Amino acid sequence: MIKKMKLPHIPPYKTKMIEPVYFRSKKARSEKIKEVNFNLFNLHSDWVVIDLITDSGTGAMSEQQWAEIMLGDESYAGSESFFKLKKAVKKIMGFNLIAPTHQGRAAENVLFSATLKEGQVVPGNAHFDTTKGHIEFRKAKAVDCTIKEAFDTSTYHPFKGNIDIEKLENVIIKYGPETIPFIVITVTCNTVGGQPVSLENITKTKEIAKKYNIPVYMDIARYAENAYFIKIREAEYKEWSIKAIIKEMFRDIDVVWMSSKKDGLVNIGGFIALNNYELFEKLSQFTIIYEGFVTYGGMSGRSMGALAVGLKEACDFHYLEDRIGQVAYLGEKLKSFGIPIQEPTGGHALYIDAKKMLPQIPQSEFPAQLLAVELYIEAGIRGVEIGTLLADKDPKTGKERFPEMELLRLAIPRRVYSNAHMDYIAEAMKNVKNRAKELKKGLVIKKQAEILRHFTVELDRK
Ligand SMILES: Cc1ncc(COP(=O)(O)O)c(C=O)c1O
């Protein structure tokens, strides 16, 4: 009898080109972080050993994408590469109209300029910071309706990105449907840990929206990762292909926008896609003012071509299994060292619970930022704070806002690092955990901007 041998998992790709990594001493890093005011955005990348600041635009492109770059049509109007992108969006997502933009927040700027006014309210699952920034910049209000389980890192819920349907309806009743220009569903929900939204929840959200005649928009930066979670965690869709799930996710959604730097598998780009021609004409005015002519919207022809290929590659089950499997692999390692993480692990990042790791540091002293600083000093790993710094002060009262969670996000770039890098990250985090009790004080702000302060803030040790 032939015995079936189980083979270990390997990534469905191999390396063709490499980038060097530079190593510095712990002492040098600890001087450098002070020099850059304890803001990791200020570090030159050659001072970083493993860069987990974001999964946005940091992925490696495939040979097919690079080939498409050589075919890029850089015509100002009517670029062939634009039509390749339009065709890919239609085929994968089912939308007829597309407005390219230079990245995700640019899509928010164009779309919200056409659809959002002062005093209006935008409910949804936890809005990403640029989304909230663009809403608040227009003196409108973002209301977070994410399920409560999302805010407890140790509770298991397969779809922590879900919207609390009862809360959503209460918000609609409280503010009145006429003040709500649209509801936003972000897939996956970055702010609560790259957590997915179930198809059941998307359907229920659409039903409520229909009841009150409110359009539903989707921020689809990580649409393919969300579809993968639906396939593996939502029993009804187990046998469905990723492509079929994606189509179902977007059925009857009014508008989607995307930062293509994530599941578009490109280094820059974004777009808005929809079927409503009237709204498309309206927003095209803003595309032209802010981004460029409607057939490139701030993107080069070659980037649009690479994106058309990337959108398709992102839907490959084996790619997604490897990608999300790598995040889960790191999650398991961290857990084995007793490091508190958001569970279950999400699609693109690990989120470490800084309140649990540094209980002695109050939120007013930015514990998650302190953890980011310490991990950098320890091993040259650059993560990002998702906590009080990111939350910004309340634009109305000017007071500090303390979010429920203080997280250190370690975002994993797509197709860049191996599991050996994941082992290095886990060991480094273990070392930080072992000396966490010695950290008696957090950080204080020396200088800050009013909106999206985390990018430029200057800090010091307290
Ligand atoms: C969910 C979500 N929406 C919007 C954006 C903004 O996109 P960009 O960085 O391309 O401007 C991001 C970026 O991280 C995101 O994660």
Question: Which residue, 408, 414, 415, 412, is CA-closest to 429?
Answer: 408
Query: What pLDDT does 396 receive?
Result: 84
- Domain ranges within the chain, ordered by starting residue: 26-51+316-461, 63-313
| Catalytic residue check, 219 | yes
Percent of the chain with pLDDT over 70: 99
Quote the CA–CA distance of 418 and 78 in Å, as a whole number.
Answer: 40
Quote the CA–CA distance of 295 and 97 in Å, as a whole number.
Answer: 11
Exactly one of 51, 55, 73, 129 is catalytic; name it: 129
Quote the CA–CA distance of 9 and 18 in Å, as a whole number.
Answer: 22
| Catalytic residue check, 426 | no
pLDDT at 4 over 80: no
What average pLDDT does this structure show over 405-420?
A: 96
Quote the CA–CA distance of 174 and 324 in Å, as a whole number.
Answer: 39
What average pLDDT does this structure show over 54-78?
A: 98
CA of 220 to the centre of ligand 1 (A): 9
Question: Which residue, 365, 371, 377, 326, is CA-closest to 347?
Answer: 326
Could you tell me the two tokens for 196? Answer: 């997915």
Kindly state the DSSP code that residue 87 receives in the 8-state scheme: H
**Do the Cβ atoms of 283 and 110 come closer than 8 Å?**
yes
User: Ligand 1 atom closest to Cα of 270?
Assistant: 10
User: Ligand 1 atom closest to Cα of 105?
Assistant: 11
Tell me: the pLDDT tens digits for 156-197? 999 999 999 999 999 999 999 999 999 999 999 998 889 999
Quote the CA–CA distance of 293 and 178 in Å, as a whole number.
Answer: 33
Instruction: With residue 167 as reference, give the H or E element that holds it.
Output: helix 165-175
Question: Which residue, 180, 185, 182, is CA-closest to 220?
Answer: 185
pLDDT at 414 over 80: yes
Quote the CA–CA distance of 120 and 182 in Å, as a whole number.
Answer: 10
Q: Which of 217, 226, 259, 385 to mutate to test the pocket of ligand 1 (most atoms within 8 A of CB)?
A: 259
For ligand 1, atom 9: residue with the closest CA: 104
Question: Which residue, 351, 344, 353, is CA-closest to 325?
Answer: 344
Exactly one of 51, 55, 219, 392 is catalytic; name it: 219
Query: What pLDDT does 2 receive?
Result: 64
Query: What pLDDT does 1 receive?
Result: 59
Query: What pLDDT does 451 receive?
Result: 83
For ligand 1, atom 3: residue with the closest CA: 128
Exactly one of 86, 141, 231, 454 is catalytic; name it: 454
Instruction: With residue 99 as reference, give the H or E element that holds it.
Output: strand 97-101
Mean pLDDT score of the chain: 96
For ligand 1, atom 14: residue with the closest CA: 56
Amino acid letter for position 160: K
pLDDT at 432 over 80: yes
Kindly state the DSSP code that residue 191 receives in the 8-state scheme: T
Neighbours of 380 (CB within 10 A): 24
CA of 337 to the centre of ligand 1 (A): 31
Quote the CA–CA distance of 348 and 327 in Å, as a whole number.
Answer: 7
CA of 450 to the centre of ligand 1 (A): 19
What average pLDDT does this structure show over 325-346?
A: 95
Q: What per-residue string of b and e applies to 331-342 under the rule 16 or more CB within 10 Å gives b?
A: bebbeeeebbbb
Q: When comparing pLDDT for 244 and 129, which is higher? A: 244
Please give the backbone phi and psi of residue 24, each rounded to the nearest 5 degrees, phi first.
Answer: -125, 170
Residues flanking ligand 1, CB < 6 Å: 56, 103-105, 128, 130-131, 186, 190, 219, 221, 259, 261, 270
| Catalytic residue check, 51 | no
Q: How confident is the model at residue 437 (pLDDT cuts 50, 70, 90)?
A: very high
- Could you say which architecture CATH assigns to the domain 63-313? 3-Layer(aba) Sandwich (3.40)
Q: Which of 105, 135, 268 to mutate to test the pocket of ligand 1 (most atoms within 8 A of CB)?
A: 105
Could you tell me the two tokens for 240? Answer: 């469905």
Q: How confident is the model at residue 5 (pLDDT cuts 50, 70, 90)?
A: confident
Q: How confident is the model at residue 153 (pLDDT cuts 50, 70, 90)?
A: confident
Q: How would DSSP label each residue in 30-56?
A: HHHHHHTTT-GGGS-GGG-SEE-S-SS
Could you tell me the two tokens for 215? Answer: 């359009």
**Alpha-carbon separation of residue 106 from 138, 191, 272, 303 (angstroms):** 14, 19, 10, 16
Percent of the chain with pLDDT over 90: 93
Tell me: the pLDDT tens digits for 197-237? 999 999 999 999 999 999 999 999 999 999 999 999 999 99
For ligand 1, atom 10: residue with the closest CA: 104
What average pLDDT does this structure show over 290-294?
A: 98
Task: Tell me the three state secondary structure of residue 443.
Answer: strand
Amino acid letter for position 269: G
What average pLDDT does this structure show over 388-417?
A: 93
Quote the CA–CA distance of 389 and 392 in Å, as a whole number.
Answer: 6
For ligand 1, atom 4: residue with the closest CA: 104
Quote the CA–CA distance of 145 and 238 in Å, as a whole number.
Answer: 27
| Catalytic residue check, 129 | yes
Q: Which of 41, 108, 112, 128 to mutate to test the pocket of ligand 1 (most atoms within 8 A of CB)?
A: 128
**Do the Cβ atoms of 100 and 270 come closer than 8 Å?**
yes
Roughly what angle, to the nearest 10 degrees, separates helices 367-379 and 26-35? 140
Tell me: the pLDDT tens digits for 7-53? 888 999 999 999 999 999 999 999 999 999 999 999 999 999 999 99
Beta bridge partners of 77: none
Q: Whole-prediction pTM value? A: 0.94
End-to-end CA distance of the chain: 69
Neighbours of 99 (CB within 10 A): 24
CA of 411 to the centre of ligand 1 (A): 13
What average pLDDT does this structure show over 327-333?
A: 97
Total residues found in the chain within this entry: 462
| Catalytic residue check, 76 | yes
Q: When comparing pLDDT for 404 and 173, which is higher? A: 173
**Do the Cβ atoms of 410 and 342 come closer than 8 Å?**
no
| Catalytic residue check, 204 | no
User: For the domain 26-51+316-461, what is the CATH superfamily, name and number?
Assistant: Aspartate Aminotransferase, domain 1 (3.90.1150.10)
Question: Which residue, 381, 396, 367, is CA-closest to 427?
Answer: 381
Query: What pLDDT does 6 receive?
Result: 86
